[in-house]
Structures are given as structure tokens and as C-alpha cells.
Structure 1
């Protein structure tokens, strides 16, 4: 990136990154209507670890909450809280051999907004402490949402706790799922799936996506933007959601504010941010941001954002069998008719017709 006729040094880029984090922290300071008392975290997650769990899933979840919970790179559990549940004094061994100690005893389910189960090696799914299973049943009875991470979906299925939810399964475990739970629906297209009081995540780096979404819902877009910024290797050039990056054709620009704005747009496809919010997060005004977008892309920020969401919709139309109404919601449109009208304006035909045209002729039987 060029600035004032010179090439930025690594120190310059580090200062810019710290400045962005500071701005995101400042954006989250004013209290919002309906916010919980300052002494109580806005997002509380209890975590159950199954024997042989993947350490990356635990680290991704906890670090996502950690970055949202406090200012800068501090780690106080202010706006988010998390704890490993079980029998204090005991520990659970990860698949890599690292032992993680239990923080708190199994307590009342209502102490948490979510209880997350990080599953372990499949041969050991049935070997967990029976008290864990009893606790999960009490969580379900209390209508507290359960999260199945990695093979945590297998745990929920084994103990009949999916409640009709079609879990998000890692493609590596599809054969295992079909063998162990034949007839139970599942999906592999997404990083996570959110249902009624049930959430599932494929595991791996997908947990970063889920952590950011939970933070967005409970703590606001500013906190979620901070999670994304802190947990992606290079937020200016990389999007952690591979499907969205592929669908949108990530923009290349020397303008820093434009890059930051596009990252925020990519990270908030399903629930779009207001342009004024994006402008504030990148330390700009709506008018300044509009001038930059018009100069660099030939479109206003709103037009660029909408077209990006329509590009993502086109990607879903051509790579999945999701219904058009579902794709409309996934692309951030409040109703299908609104989505279809804008889609037809951009691509010259309705979504259903485009899908049919791209699928080619039906082979003769």
C-alpha cells in the first residue's frame, strides 16, 4: 500500500492495525438499549470437552470470545465469559495429548447463554462421564441452546439431543455419520448451522466464523469486526470465509479504508451492516466513504454491498440446491420478492431461471 508518496514499513502497518483495534474498541463503549448490566457478561458460554477433543476448536472458540470481551489485547472476561465445565481438579486430554483442566463444576444451565460440546475421537464418543450426559439433558430441558462443535454433533445425536436439527458435518466425517446415524439429515455446505436451540459447527477454522457470529448477535457488530480483524492473518487481503471470498471475487485496492469496508461487508453478508456503521468502524464519514467507492469501484457503498450479496447468492444458486427463499435470507434480503427483483436487475433473469439455464439440459432417461 502507498501513502504520501512512500511505501509503508512493517512498523507502519503494525501501528495501523493497532489503531483499527482501538477504533473498534471505542465503537463498542456506549451502552446500547437492552444491554445487560456491566457486571454481567453479554455472552456466557459453558464448554464441555469430550475425550480426545481437537485443541483447535477449543482455542478458536475461546480466543474469539477473548478478543470480543475486553479492550485491546487484554483478556478480562468482561463482555464475554467462558469456562470449561466438569469436575474441578480433573482434566480432559485433547487428541494431540495436551491436558486441559476443568474450571467450574456443572452448574445450573441458566448460568449460560450457550453450552458448547466439543466432541472427541469417534471411538471414545460413548465413554464420557455420565454426569456430562445428564447435564446436557438438563440444558436441553431448560431450553438453553446447545452447540455441537466438530464431532460434538455426534455426541448430540448419540444421546438424542439434536431435536430435529440437521447438523453441519465436516466432509471428512460424512461416511462416519451415515454409518452411525443412518437416516438422520445433515449438511456439509456451511461453516456452521443454526437451528432452534441447536447450533452445530464443522470444526477446524470454521469455529472462528461461529465465534464471530455469536459475538455479533450478543455484543454487536463492532465486537464481531474486532474478532475478525484479530483472528485473520491479513484482514486487508484475506477473508476467513472461503466460500464468500470465492463468490465475491475479493477486491484489490491500494485504499486502506476501502479494503477495511469490504472486509466488513464480506463478514456481514447474511445480516448487513448500515453504511453509516461501516463508515464509523473504518474511521470515515458516509460521504467520504461514498467518494472512495465511486472512485475505486464506480458504485456507491450501498450498491457495492448489495451487488456483493447478489454475487454470493449467485454462487449459492450454482453450487447448492438451497431453495431461492433460503438463499435470499442467506444473502441478507428480508424477503424473496425484494431479492428476486434486484437479482433480475443485475443478471437479467430471475434466480430460478438462471439456475435452470446454468444446470444445462436434463439428460434423456
Structure 2
């Protein structure tokens, strides 16, 4: 007896103007590769549409254009709606018709996915109220500044909270797509997709984002998460006890693993992180020393000046002079 054909996993994509191509392509390729055997791209186990209210070409942040293939009025009953965000502050919001459609789908119980800065669109639309959400560490402060009462997760690659799924973008999009594929089709299909894309294995949601500290690296996931928390709390630094509590470990455990991984204590690393950011701002901006001090968790200009002299061997004036000479 012939087995009935399995219903494909249906995904609808909504792309913001100037959408981030890497987030879209990473997610879409995992789905494409899981849909068929090898790399044949037949839409057997999965199917997808790029949705539009007007069918105009949609430009990515890099200038590449995508032609939508389905009008909203012809949209199917999707298992997921995936919103891909665009450049922040660059007119990347969705048209009112698209937002109405999102609200209708959410009200009907369809899971909504936000890739990269798509989380800004969903939050602005009120679709993340009461949900945990994931934001790329690079955009954490912008998110908090825009949505004052929200505290996003910026130390994980993606977050699943009931029928809302959000991710940090980049390779996080691929891993969240693999999570969805594993849930609906199976682990083997998810692993195959990632392997063809030369990604070793699927990462769980709580895997830390790559630390936003280019000059320093960490291997221990706990230390990486701690670095993210430090990055997100530069203006009003947290105590080491508070960091440990947030990470659900004891202070001694955090200090021991931090020293093993980096050679520094958390306090030393946190101080240098704030000092390095202050030095960068003194070099690149015309902000007063007092403003730079407060923005980086120092009491006042004198406190910053003493810390620079004691730990970096320079003064704010010397930093400014060197920067001016280099621009002449």
C-alpha cells in the first residue's frame, strides 16, 4: 500500500526594505536543503513564498533585489511567518498592509519568526509583548534605547518563547532554521542541511553569540555570556556578584573560569573593557571627558583620568592630542 504524501512544511517570508541578506539566505538555504535529498532543491518536504502587498522588488541592505512571488491575498496557510529586518533607522519598516497581515496571522496562532533586526519590527508592532526575544549584541543598546521597558536576550544565538522565535542574525538564522526543521522533519534533515553548508552541527538556542569584544576572545561559554553582559552594562556597571547571579553561578566559579580562560579576573576585564571604550570615544568624538566618563561607568572626569593614568599610562589630553595629530 502506498504511503500518503507528507504535507510539506510551509513558510512565508516577509522582507523589510533593505533587509539583511545573510539572515534571509542562511535561513532559506537550510529550509531548501532539508526539502529534498542531496542538493536538488525540489520543494518536497518544505515549501515557501516571499510575500508582498504590492509585488514590487525588495532591495537588500547590499543592493541585491528579490522579486516577491505571492500577493498577500493569495497567501497560503503557513506553518511559520518569517520576518527579515533591515538596516535600523533606514526606512526599513513594513507597509501597513504587511503589519495587518502579521497581526492576523499571530492572532490565528501562527508562529512568528524574527530574523536579525526583524525583532525591532515585531517589537514596534506589539507582537513581542510578554515574550522573551533575542537581539544581536551589536544592536542591544539601540533596542533598549528604543524600547525602554524591554530587556532582550543578547547572549544567545536564538530564543524560542512559545509561538515567537527570534534570533541574532547571521549564522544564528541557520541554527534557528535547523531547530525548526528538526522539530517538523527530523534531526537528520537538519544535520544534512547544515553539513552541506559546511556547518559542523546544529547549535542549541542557549549557545552564546560570538562575543562583541574583538580584541579579546573566550572559549568557555560561561565566560562568553559574561562578556556579553558586561558589554550591555557599560554605563552602569554591574557588580561581579550581580553578574554571577544573572549567570546562575557562584562568584568564585565565575572568577575561576574567567581567569582560566582569559588570564584576567572578571573585574580586570570589565575595567579594561570600559577604559578601551572610553579611549575609543575620546579619539573619535568631540564629547567632553566628563560625558565620556559617565557613558562608561566612571563617576566623573577625574575618576576616568585617574583610571587611564593608572591602568593605561596615558591621560585623556594625550589621547586627544594623538588623535588630532593623526588626522592632520
- TM-score normalised according to structure 1 size: 0.56
**Counterpart contact for 1:48–1:118, Cα < 8 Å:** yes
Q: Which runs of 4+ in 1 moved over 3 A?
A: 107-110, 124-127, 239-246, 314-321, 352-357, 359-363
Taking the aligned partners of 1:198 and 1:108, their CA distance within structure 2 comes to 24
* 2:82 aligned with 1:119: no
- The aligned counterpart of 2:158 is 192
- The aligned counterpart of 1:45 is 11
Taking the aligned partners of 1:353 and 1:129, their CA distance within structure 2 comes to 42
Q: 1:182 to 1:76 in 2, by over 3 A?
A: same
**Counterpart contact for 1:109–1:144, Cα < 8 Å:** no
Taking the aligned partners of 2:97 and 2:249, their CA distance within structure 1 comes to 53
Taking the aligned partners of 1:125 and 1:88, their CA distance within structure 2 comes to 17
Taking the aligned partners of 2:70 and 2:6, their CA distance within structure 1 comes to 19
Taking the aligned partners of 2:153 and 2:54, their CA distance within structure 1 comes to 36
- The aligned counterpart of 2:321 is none
Taking the aligned partners of 1:98 and 1:318, their CA distance within structure 2 comes to 38
User: What SS does the aligned partner of 1:61 have?
Assistant: helix
Q: 1:38 to 1:107 in 2, by over 3 A?
A: farther
* 2:116 aligned with 1:150: yes
**Counterpart contact for 2:55–2:71, Cα < 8 Å:** no
How far the C-alpha of 1:318 sits from its partner, in A, is 5.7
- The aligned counterpart of 2:253 is 358
Taking the aligned partners of 1:189 and 1:86, their CA distance within structure 2 comes to 33
How far the C-alpha of 1:222 sits from its partner, in A, is 1.1
- The aligned counterpart of 1:181 is 147
- The aligned counterpart of 1:56 is 22
Could you list the per-position Cα deviations for residues 170-189 of structure 1 after superposition, in whole angstroms to 9, with x for gaps in the alignment? Answer: 11111211111112020111
Q: 1:354 to 1:201 in 2, by over 3 A?
A: closer
Q: 1:49 to 1:229 in 2, by over 3 A?
A: same
Match of 1:130 among 87, 96, 121: 96
Taking the aligned partners of 2:102 and 2:128, their CA distance within structure 1 comes to 11
**Counterpart contact for 1:89–1:101, Cα < 8 Å:** yes
- The aligned counterpart of 1:344 is none
Question: What stretches of structure 2 of length at least 5 have no aligned partner?
Answer: 210-218, 227-246, 257-265, 268-328
- TM-score normalised according to structure 2 size: 0.62
Question: What stretches of structure 1 of length at least 5 have no aligned partner?
Answer: 1-29, 32-36, 247-313, 322-351
Could you list the per-position Cα deviations for residues 163-206 of structure 1 after superposition, in whole angstroms to 9, with x for gaps in the alignment? Answer: 31221111111121111111202011111100021000110121
How far the C-alpha of 1:89 sits from its partner, in A, is 3.8
- The aligned counterpart of 1:215 is 181
How far the C-alpha of 1:105 sits from its partner, in A, is 1.5
How far the C-alpha of 1:110 sits from its partner, in A, is 6.9
User: What SS does the aligned partner of 1:51 have?
Assistant: coil
- Say how many residue pairs are matched: 227
Taking the aligned partners of 2:25 and 2:155, their CA distance within structure 1 comes to 23
**Counterpart contact for 2:208–2:221, Cα < 8 Å:** no
Q: 1:356 to 1:89 in 2, by over 3 A?
A: closer
Q: 1:127 to 1:168 in 2, by over 3 A?
A: closer
**Counterpart contact for 2:12–2:48, Cα < 8 Å:** yes
Aligned counterparts, 1:262-301, within 5 A: none
Aligned counterparts, 1:219-238, within 5 A: 219-232=185-198, 235=200
Q: 1:49 to 1:244 in 2, by over 3 A?
A: closer
Taking the aligned partners of 1:127 and 1:244, their CA distance within structure 2 comes to 29
Could you list the per-position Cα deviations for residues 189-246 of structure 1 after superposition, in whole angstroms to 9, with x for gaps in the alignment? Answer: 111100021000110121111111110000011101101211126x4xxx57599699
